[in-house]
Structure 1
Amino acid sequence: MQTVKERTPLTEPVVQPFTEQDTEWKTRFFHEHWGGTLMISRGVTHHLDTHPGFIALLEGNRAGLLTYHIQNQECEITCLESLKEGRGIGTALIEAAKAAARDADCTRLWLITSNDNVDALRFYQKRGFTLVAVHRDAHHRSAQAQATDPPHWQLRYSYTR
C-alpha cells in the first residue's frame, strides 16, 4: 500500500510598503536585475530607487518588489519583480498597487511590458488588466536601448476600477 505524503501548505507572501531598511537592498536589486536604477517609459525617465512601492516577504525573506509613479490621477507600475514564481508574490504586489491607486484617487492603474514577455502578458490579463495600446519599436526610441537589441513592441495594459 502506497502512502500519500501530506502536503505542507505554502505560506502566503506578506506585502508591506518600502521602509528605510529596504533602501540599500532595493538599489542593489535594481542594479543586479535591471542593470541600474533608471527606466524610461513613454519618454519619461524614472529613478526606480526613489519611487514608492512595496516589498514582498516570503517566510521572512525578501522575495519581490513593485514600484509605482502617480501623476495626473494615474498610477503607473514602473517595476514588478518576483524572485519566486508561482507563489503568489506578483499577485499580492499587484493587489497592493491597486489599493495604493485607490487610496490616491487614481482613475487608472497602468503599466508597460514588451511583447516578448509572454508570461507577463498572461499574468496581467489574468489579473484584470486590458491591453489598450501597442507602441511599435518604442524600445529602440528608448535611451536605454542598444543598437543590437532586437526590435519589439511595448504593450500598454490598463486596469480601471
Structure 2
Amino acid sequence: MLILNKQAGVICSNKDEEGRKSVYDLLPKESRWVMVGRLDLNTSGLLLFTNNGDLANKLMHPSSEIDREYAVRVLGQVESEDLKQLTEGIELDDGFAKFSRVNVGGGQGANRWYKVVLKEGRKREVRRLWEALGFKVSRLIRVRFGEIRLPENLKANQFDYLKPGQVNLLLRSVKLK
C-alpha cells in the first residue's frame, strides 16, 4: 500500500482525453494500483493506493464510516450558526450530508481555514456543503484518511509506502484482520 500527496490540477482517472497528468503517472509501475476514493481536480492531499481490491472497496464503502479529514479554506464570514448547520446536516441534491466535526483553523480577512471531518466521501461533498450555505471553498486538502495522516515531509506529487503497522490499522478498521 502507498500514500500519495496529490497536487491540485492532477486528475484521478487512468485515462484523460485532454492529456492531463494523472495520479497513475506518479506511481511505481510494479503493481496494478487501486485508488481508495478520489479527489477532484482542484483538491490536493492524501490519496491511498492498494493492490488489494477487497480492501479498497471496504475502505470506500459508506458503511465503514471511516473518517476523512480535510483542511478547507473558505471565503466569507462564517458564523457559529453556519458551523452548527454544517454538523447538523444539509439536504443536498443526492441526499442528506453533514460534517461529523468542524474546527476553526486560522486565517485573516475574508479567508479562514477550517478542519472538517466526513464519514463518507461523496462527489465534491465538502465543497457542496459549504456552497449550500453560500460560501466558496478556495482551497481543499485531504489531510487524513482513517488513522493515516498526510506526512508533512511528503512533497506534492510524491508517494511513499505505508509501514506494516499503518496497513494493519487500515485492515483492522474494516475487519479484514
The structure whose residues are more often helix, as a share, is 1
Higher relative contact order (CA 8 A, sep 6+): 2
TM-score relative to the length of structure 2: 0.26
TM-score relative to the length of structure 1: 0.28
